[in-house]
Structure 1
């Protein structure tokens, strides 16, 4: 029996959907129209289903996050980061990605230092609901395992296992962001919660930590990385106010990547 890897299947399905809706979005591309590369284990560009028939049969609306991304420009789902082929000016969204290979770590770091922009959502204790049981390869990545690339940027992702579960909001300059069992970033090798800002040891990035380390804003070479230590933002909200809040925060984090005026220290 031939197994089809989900990212490959995702690309096929998105190609079909793109052809079906060709011309509908091009007339309304926003200012900038930056290509958005999306690399994720979360069901943002596909519906969770145990088989292809279910994937094709479901007529549910697109994930709200996909609509936000499309509002910034054409979305390109990625099956790998090595090689990382995105046009100049593109933004890469890494949403709870699966562990990166050594080749992907190298390609990602080189792309950022050359001027690439990344929005990273790395959750040490994913609370997003999944139809699939733990251990199922179709299930989203439960624990972000990105130590090599984070260490390269001078960061470490930590988790307080004594914190209470349950969604709540944390204030960022971009607004109140919903979190649930979030992690926090700290300077690599530093044991104090929240870490320090600046360049650490052999790191290639200068990072500023916000909200006790929930968010890291890093300059690496000519590029920039905005990293959030939680992915509850991408959950589906049943009430319109909660959905609007999520849409707004995701949009503002993407907008922040376009702000090149921040000092690197």
Structure 2
């Protein structure tokens, strides 16, 4: 019986040594939380086109945009912009979203007014290929339908159907960004939004929040032939500057 305290002390010492051995390694690998960013899109950026079931089972291939965003963000896929969905989010990306219900227009505008930061990629003539035919509900939104919220903010999205097809480059934040059949924003008399880059970009300060509108979505495309060029990734981050850096986009 006299040896029991010695045995107990020995076990306590061993456990202390194990804890000490593990602690430095754990300290070196501290988990740094990423900003939570909502993603609302009709494009197959999160699940992949027709691969929802495969992704749920851990298979399928992520879209390159999702992979790139997840290097900096904890993505939260959204299927609505009602208050419950936006609660707890400070930043949201709308990438060629579906048309919003009247209640979603109100909810989203109030969320921005209360300090939310949003980037909206709004393409008037989507050039991204889809396996689904026109009219199929699984097909991405070919023509963005956000006129109510844009009009409320005092801007209008225009489209020049005489422009040449094919991808070309435009400058945003000093970065070359690919565009294809791009739109152009025009400012209404009552608007306080700033029109930049020949109407390609709009910065709207709303209450204590910020919404930046980009009149194209070609930067999200890639044909899948080989790795995505770093230049295209850099272009994506240039467009997403406001939700990345917590500061407004600025361009000539």
TM-score normalised over the length of structure 1: 0.75
Of 209-218 and 96-105, more deviation after overlay is shown by: 209-218
The answer for the alignment partner of 2:48 in structure 1 is 47
Contact 2:54 2:60 in 1 (8 A): no
Contact 1:82 1:104 in 2 (8 A): yes
Task: Please tell me whether residue 184 in structure 1 is matched to residue 191 in structure 2.
Answer: no
Shift of 1:63: 1.1
Q: Highest CA radius of gyration, 1 or 2?
A: 2
The 1:256/1:186 distance shift into structure 2, 3 A limit, reads: same
More helix by share: 2
Shift of 1:238: 4.2
Shift of 1:208: 1.7
The answer for the alignment partner of 2:134 in structure 1 is 134
- Structure 2: which 5+ residue stretches go unaligned? 1-28
The answer for the alignment partner of 1:112 in structure 2 is 112
Alpha-carbon RMSD across the aligned residues, in angstroms, is 2.6
SS at the partner of 2:204? strand
Shift of 1:245: 1.9
Contact 1:41 1:140 in 2 (8 A): yes
Task: List per-residue Cα deviations over 1:49-87 (Å, max 9, x = no partner).
Answer: 2x8666668944311111222122211101111125345
1:204-219 alignment runs, 5 A limit? 206-219=192-205
The answer for the alignment partner of 2:209 in structure 1 is 223
Match of residue 251, structure 1, among 237, 240, 243: 237
Shift of 1:248: 1.1
2: CA distance between counterparts of 1:261 and 1:246?
Answer: 21
The answer for the alignment partner of 1:164 in structure 2 is 164
- Structure 1: which 5+ residue stretches go unaligned? 1-25, 189-199
- The 4+ residue runs of structure 1 with deviation greater than 2 A are 26-30, 51-61, 83-90, 237-243, 252-263
